[in-house]
């Protein structure tokens, strides 16, 4: 077997042609998984009993917590993709970074808005400048700053480099968000997920809908991320062809 015929197992993430072949079936597959999980998650959401303290607002947990968790996960993806683009100059890594930023911003807006709608009846206020809420707002500003920087500079390579550095700086905000409720006094409750301390963990009747909805959000992000990277690969191809045509 010729050495050129041997492919690295992760080639489909670095070679545009292999990525397009992989994503052509992976994107719809993740989309279908997301739709099925969202259907099951919504059923579990509306058959869950009212909480004895929070009443029906407890159902907002099943859309708020997944949005908050995925908004941080997407930023981690943005940081890793930016690092790979900056250090190894992978064109696909740069496309992956650009593609996930608008999705991450949307999930962060959802986390903030659904949190605010949950906070008003439970805390008596739409917003408070405490560490958790403020650090999530900072996360949104990092997403918006990244997108603004990408579109502000005409030189795409310079814009990509500057935005990648900003994305890497923003990674410091992730542990701040995660541990903000432990490091500072906060209105926001601490972790009550499956990984919480014994006694703090959610009962199964609330943990299942949250877990299923989180997996639905994750699959939806996976699908949409792949679709957006595919769009950027085609855009790059179209621009290269347009340039060739202009040069005659």
Residues that bind other proteins (CB under 8 A): 43, 46-50, 55-57, 59-60, 63-64, 67, 102-103, 106-107, 109-110, 113-114, 117-118, 120-121, 220, 224, 227-228, 230-232, 234-235, 237-238, 241-242, 244-245
As measured in angstroms, the least distance from the Cβ of 71 to other proteins is 11
Nearer Cβ to other proteins, position 43 or 169? 43
Nearer Cβ to other proteins, position 73 or 118? 118
As measured in angstroms, the least distance from the Cβ of 106 to other proteins is 5
As measured in angstroms, the least distance from the Cβ of 15 to other proteins is 18
Nearest-angstrom CA–CA distance, 43 and 60:
14
- Please state, in angstroms and as integers, the Cα–Cα distance from residue 226 to each residue in 29, 53, 117, following that order: 11, 41, 31
Nearer Cβ to other proteins, position 80 or 232? 232
As measured in angstroms, the least distance from the Cβ of 165 to other proteins is 25
Nearer Cβ to other proteins, position 41 or 86? 41
As measured in angstroms, the least distance from the Cβ of 32 to other proteins is 13
Nearer Cβ to other proteins, position 71 or 82? 71
Structure tokens given for 19: 């990525």
As measured in angstroms, the least distance from the Cβ of 36 to other proteins is 15
Nearest-angstrom CA–CA distance, 143 and 101:
6
Nearest-angstrom CA–CA distance, 117 and 79:
29
Look up tokens 């943990």; give the residue. Answer: 207
HSE-up of 29 (CA within 13 Å, CB side)? 5
As measured in angstroms, the least distance from the Cβ of 172 to other proteins is 27
Nearest-angstrom CA–CA distance, 133 and 128:
7
The gap from C-alpha 116 to its chain's centroid, in whole angstroms, comes to 20
Q: What are phi and psi of 217, to 5 degrees?
A: -60, -45
DSSP H helical segments within 124-172, as ranges?
Answer: 131-152, 156-170
Those residues whose C-beta lies under 8 Å from the C-beta of residue 76, and which sit 6 or more positions away, are 171, 174
Nearer Cβ to other proteins, position 149 or 220? 220
Nearer Cβ to other proteins, position 138 or 227? 227
The β-bridge partners of 51 are 55
The β-bridge partners of 87 are none
């Amino acid at each position: 077997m010729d050495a050129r015929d041997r492919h690295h197992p992760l080639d489909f993430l670095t070679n545009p042609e292999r990525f397009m072949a992989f994503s052509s079936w992976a994107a719809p597959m993740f989309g279908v998984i997301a739709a099925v999980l969202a259907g099951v998650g919504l059923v579990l959401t509306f058959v869950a009993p009212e909480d004895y303290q929070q009443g029906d607002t407890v159902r907002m947990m099943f859309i708020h917590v997944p949005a908050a968790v995925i908004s941080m996960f997407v930023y981690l993806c943005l940081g890793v993709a930016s690092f790979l683009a900056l250090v190894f100059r992978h064109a696909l890594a740069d496309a992956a970074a650009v593609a996930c930023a608008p999705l991450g911003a949307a999930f962060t807006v959802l986390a903030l808005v659904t949190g605010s709608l949950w906070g008003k009846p439970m805390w008596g206020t739409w917003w408070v400048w405490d560490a958790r809420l403020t650090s999530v707002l900072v996360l949104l500003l990092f997403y918006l700053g990244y997108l603004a920087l990408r579109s502000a500079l005409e030189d795409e390579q310079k814009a990509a480099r500057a935005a990648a550095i900003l994305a890497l700086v923003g990674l410091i905000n992730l542990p701040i968000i995660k541990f903000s409720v432990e490091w500072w006094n906060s209105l926001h409750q601490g972790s009550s997920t499956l990984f919480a301390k014994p006694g703090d963990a959610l009962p199964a009747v609330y943990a299942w809908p949250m877990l299923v909805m989180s997996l639905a959000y994750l699959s939806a992000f996976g699908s949409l991320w792949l679709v957006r990277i595919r769009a950027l690969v085609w855009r790059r191809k179209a621009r290269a062809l347009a340039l060739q045509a202009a040069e005659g």
